[in-house]
Amino acid sequence: MENEDQPRLRSVVSYVNRGGRMTVGQQRAWDELWPRLGRTVADLPAGPVDFTEWFGREAPVLLEIGSGMGETTSQLAAAAPELNYVAAEVYDPGLGQLMLRAEKLGVETLRLMHGDAVILLTEHVEPGALEGVRLFFPDPWPKKRHHKRRIVQPEFVALVASRLRPGGTFHLATDWENYAEQMLEVCSAEPGLRNRFADEPGGWAPRPEWRPRTKFEQRADAEGRESHDLIFEKH
């Protein structure tokens, strides 16, 4: 799946490296649960991941990019057992915590990817393979000189669109107004996608009741920032 855009795509990664020590529980999750639930992007064999084999069943695959500490991801996966839910994250304690949360909820339909979601999508996901991609509250890089580091850029959105099945969705959310506007502009310019809520005021999607309110969203509310959802559909 090599292409001329790949070097540029790799220049914008899906994460920010953050340190952090794991709790005893998180380390136990890595020791006991990771061998079954997780894979490392850098260690994947060449070619697409066989999601049917990994999950042990055939079902629509949804990828969430940046699951953080797993508060919402575990709930979303639990609420959608009909999906093969894949969470991509680089923060080790976050993945450990997500495994603990999923274990507590009895979630069996969640798998974890440790590493850069851009490389995962570029090298290990076939075109048209995904039912949906979710990107909730990515790093906003609020300073103007850092906006080029934001993950939502034309090349990235084109990559996501190429991996969605027809009718599949790309759902984004952010509490930073100018990032929301950038997301709207970039996604609207991608010919493979259409805004499912283009007729709504501003083109924003109504906030889905099923999306749990994240700690970022709660902080935004406290600081007077409005969160925006966008849902784009693959033609």
144 is in an annotated binding site: no
Known catalytic residues are 139
> Residues 72, 76, 78, 80: what is their CA dihedral angle, to the nearest 10 degrees?
180
* Buried-state track 175-194, b at ≥16 Cβ within 10 A, e below 16: bbeebbebbbebbeebebbe
Residue 43 CA to residue 54 CA, distance in Å, equals 15
Report yes or no: 88 and 14 within 8 Å, Cβ to Cβ: yes
82 is in an annotated binding site: no
197 is in an annotated binding site: no
- The CA distances from residue 146 to 30, 117, 141, 151, in Å, are 33, 20, 6, 11
Residue 38 CA to residue 110 CA, distance in Å, equals 9
64 is in an annotated binding site: yes
215 is in an annotated binding site: yes
43 is in an annotated binding site: no
143 is in an annotated binding site: yes
The tally of CA atoms less than 13 A away on the side-chain side of residue 192 is: 20
- The CA distances from residue 54 to 41, 103, 130, 161, in Å, are 14, 18, 15, 23
Which of 170, 175, 176, 195 has the alpha carbon at shortest distance from 185?
Answer: 195
> What separation, in Å, do the N-terminal and C-terminal C-alpha atoms of the chain show?
21
List, as residue ranges, the binding site. Answer: 64, 89, 116, 139, 143, 175, 214-217
Q: Give the residue numbers of the binding site for substrate.
A: 143, 175, 214-217
- Give the residue numbers of the binding site for S-adenosyl-L-methionine: 64, 89, 116, 139
